[in-house]
Chain A
Amino acid sequence: MNTPPILEMRGITKEFPGVKALDNVSFRVAQGEIHCLVGENGAGKSTLMKVLSGVYPHGTYSGDILLNGQVQSYRGIRDSEHAGIAIIYQELALIPELTVYENIFLGNEIRNGPIVNWNETIKRAGEMLAKVRLKVNPAAKIKDLGVGKQQLVEIAKALSRNIKLLILDEPTAALNEDDSANLLDLLRGLRDQGVTCIMISHKLKEVLAIADTVTVLRDGQTICTLDAHKGEVSEGALIKHMVGREIDNIYPQREHKQPGDVVLEVRGWNAYDPALGREILHNVSMNVRRGEIVGVAGLMGSGRTELALSIFGNPLGYQVKGELRVKGEQRSFRDPEAAIKAGVAYVTEDRKGNGLILIQDVKENITLANLQAIAKNSMIDGNAEIKVANEYRTSLNIKTPTVEQRVSNLSGGNQQKVCLGKWLFVKPDLLILDEPTRGIDVGAKYEIYTLMNRLVEQGMSIIMISSELPEVLGMSDRVYIVSSGRITGELPIAEATPEKVMHLATN
């Protein structure tokens, strides 16, 4: 294609404390094409789009953004919207209690002076809905529409603003197959009307179906840009470029022993999330044996975390169906308390959210899940608490001046160790680790891996959920792959190659 680029990002570098999220990234999008951006989690796709949309304002990154050949310097999202860039995020930004037409023109009201012209608004909303081929009453409330239709309303909202560039961040992640196909069809239609579109997607089949051009990011760098019309885009090529790197030997060695008895097993396991109004896990079956690290690989939003939470007593209120056995005994956990009593512990991926109480100190966080163990007649024994906290501080090598330090003052790696300490203190048989090394440095990672090995040697079992493929392959005895709420494969570690796992995960 020789059309001049509508967008060019040149040499973009964006650093966060201790991490280079984007390293000299270049990205060109031609007028009127559908350009897909792919890469593993953490490759830098979202960061790049945040730079483009002004979420990270001009001056917080280096490099240039050119729109239609002109250098842009956005101070915020408002500026990029003015310039004609619209981003639709995974989490929709619609207001559920308002009507479709109110949402479409929110912040962009059609008015005569201070008075909103509702007649004109409703008429124009109808036109926008026709453009996205959505047949709903503009006066319907957003909360009464399904996710697929809400997505279309978002697009209608973007179109109402005369955009030059439409960016979709994983638009089909929450959609079923019909809605996804419908959406892709619409995007093709918009392209034919001249709308340029950037789509971030983990689903390679969709990328193959729709992309004119694909750019692959990996570890914050542009790996390549492939032209679909020259036959450069294939699933194999994409996976190769996405995975690319050598697996470094940063994983401590452990013998893969013959595992023991089954500690936990689920069969025909389904979960329904009333908050989303849909089923999030479909007919999942898996098991974990004593002294085994079972890896759960899958992309963000594949249902990995939901699987863990559904086993751990459903703190978010999922409704589960199916069989759950702990050490051969059929169980059902009413709440996390019951799961903990049965010997299951869950270390959340959301360390700062529901993992730690940030404004409380190290000892209070470590003892929180098992306060009874340091209490006599429900009075907390302060000395026992300090003793327990110090034991974990030593054995986990938590770097803090005292156990009375607020955890918000610790580094990510040390916070994660506090989290681990909290759950080791409940003395579980099965430890579920959700993204145990997210956002922590290599040294701390190694310590956590070593600890995991020590724990399984002592007879504990571990389920490790991770979006870092090398980590899954480096640590697990066995790997399950999750995609769209289903287990799409189970591989013994000897057969698990990055390509195979990625293939199953993008299925």
Chain B
Amino acid sequence: MARDVATSTSPPRWRLLVARQELVILALLLLVSAGLSLLTGNFFAATNLLNLARNVSWFAVAAFGVGMVILIGGIDLSSGAVMALAGLASALLLQLGLPIWLAVPVGLLSGALVGLCNGVLVGMFNTPPFIVTLGMMGVVRGMTFSLSAGRPVRDLPPAFRALGQDDVWVGPLLVPLPLLTMVGVALLVSLLLRSTVLGRYIYTLGRDERALQVAGVRTERIKVVVYTFSGLLAACGGIIMTSWLGVAAPTAAADYELDIIAAAVIGGTSLFGGEGSVFGVVLGALLMQVVRTGMVLLGFPTYLQVGAIGMMIMLVVLIDNFRRRRLSR
């Protein structure tokens, strides 16, 4: 009957804007970019921006999956190893002469299977996700070493390398293919989270698992699905990464699981679950990559870069805490 939805007493608009961490990060991102272009002069050069986009895209794709896991209040430490495994699996199959339309799906499947194992252990057997995925990280990394006998796989066919290296014309713009892939995946994941029943359950699960159970939802199934997605998306990111690098190494993507988690958190994903968005994860990944690129351009010593990224993570989370406290008053 009554559809007077418009007669809302919502808070002032600026508060709604500040209430979204995405916008805070966006502002920070623009600030850092502006600073870098002043300091280096070539930050906004086309080649640099395209490189940046390529670098961010596969990283962000992997981060979407981990972001979903964090949304349900879990954690996935196996993503870096899965990225390496998926890339390596595809590369090995290609070397055996399999066609690309078979090699890539098998690579994706390997990641999904790892995710499924994580999900079953966490959801069905109630094992703490930190431990499960930490163990899985070791298992999967070990698999990459034994599959490759410790040696990187080179000489990948051009059709495969195109996935990460080609540019395509979108209207008047020449856009890297991996960037398009990332945008496509981002839209799909965003649709899943915002508009589907599963998406609603994912957010609700992170906010109050017991209430969801009492509402008659089998939460363990949702966990299995989400961890499987995480493995699948990490595999997707890993394959794009491998294609871009042109080499599949068993040591690839080492420590990326932590960078990915950091990117999700910087982008406003709450480690307690129930809060975060695809857009936020993209921004978080972008900010990390911009800072990294910036330090290279500025000629920062490599060893200091690692520390600087660590400090940035702490800073962003601190700002976020402060902002939340101000808003909740």
Contact = CB atoms under 8 A, between A and B. Distances in A.
Interface stretch (B40-48, B88-96, B191-199): B191-199
Interface in B174-212: 195-201, 203-204, 207-208, 210-212
A379 B196 contact: yes
Nearest to B212: A368
A380 B191 CA distance: 11
Contact of B215 (A358, A368, A379, A380): A368
Contact of A336 (B3, B201, B215): B215
Contacts of A358: 208
Contacts of A335: 213, 216, 218
B170 interface: no
A403 B6 CA distance: 11
Contacts of A337: 216-218
Interface in B138-176: none
A382 B191 CA distance: 13
B302 interface: no
B31 interface: no
B8 A372 contact: no
Given A353-B210, A372-B197, A402-B7, A391 B218 contact: no
A265 to B, nearest CB: 22
Contacts, number: 92
A364 B274 CA distance: 14
Contacts of B215: 336, 368-369, 422
B218 A390 contact: no
A387 B1 CA distance: 8
Contacts of B218: 335, 337
A402 B1 contact: no
B2 interface: yes
Interface string B104-133: 000000000000000000000000000000
Contact of A364 (B195, B196, B200, B214): B200
Nearest to B217: A337
B16 interface: no
A276 B197 CA distance: 35
Contacts of B274: 359
A356 interface: yes
B162 to A, nearest CB: 33
A357 to B, nearest CB: 5
Given A337-B217, A380-B197, A380-B200, A404 B8 contact: yes
Interface in A275-329: 313, 315
A402 B5 contact: yes
B214 A346 contact: yes
Nearest to A403: B5
A253 B215 CA distance: 32
Interface string A347-375: 01000011111111000100011011001
A378 B197 contact: yes
A78 B80 CA distance: 49
Nearest to A312: B214
A394 interface: yes
A29 interface: no
A402 B208 contact: no
A261 B315 CA distance: 65
Given A335-B216, A368-B215, A390 B210 contact: no
A354 B1 contact: no
Given A359-B274, A391-B1, A404-B5, A336 B207 contact: no
A342 to B, nearest CB: 11
Contact of B195 (A340, A379, A405, A422): A379
A315 B200 contact: no
A219 B242 CA distance: 72
A122 B8 CA distance: 64
Nearest to A385: B200
A308 to B, nearest CB: 11
A380 B7 contact: no
Contacts of B7: 401-402
A126 B201 CA distance: 52
Interface string A186-227: 000000000000000000000000000000000000000000
B221 to A, nearest CB: 10
A339 interface: yes
A356 B210 CA distance: 10
Interface of A: 313, 315, 335-337, 339-340, 346, 348, 353-360, 364, 368-369, 371-372, 375, 378-380, 382, 386-387, 390-391, 393-394, 401-405, 422, 426
15 contacts: A315-B210, A336-B213, A337-B216, A355-B211, A357-B212, A359-B274, A368-B211, A368-B215, A378-B196, A378-B197, A380-B199, A380-B200, A394-B1, A402-B4, A404-B8
Closest 8 CB pairs of A and B: A369-B215, A340-B216, A336-B216, A337-B216, A354-B210, A354-B211, A402-B8, A371-B197
Given A380-B195, A403-B5, 5 more contacts: A339-B216, A371-B200, A391-B1, A394-B1, A422-B215
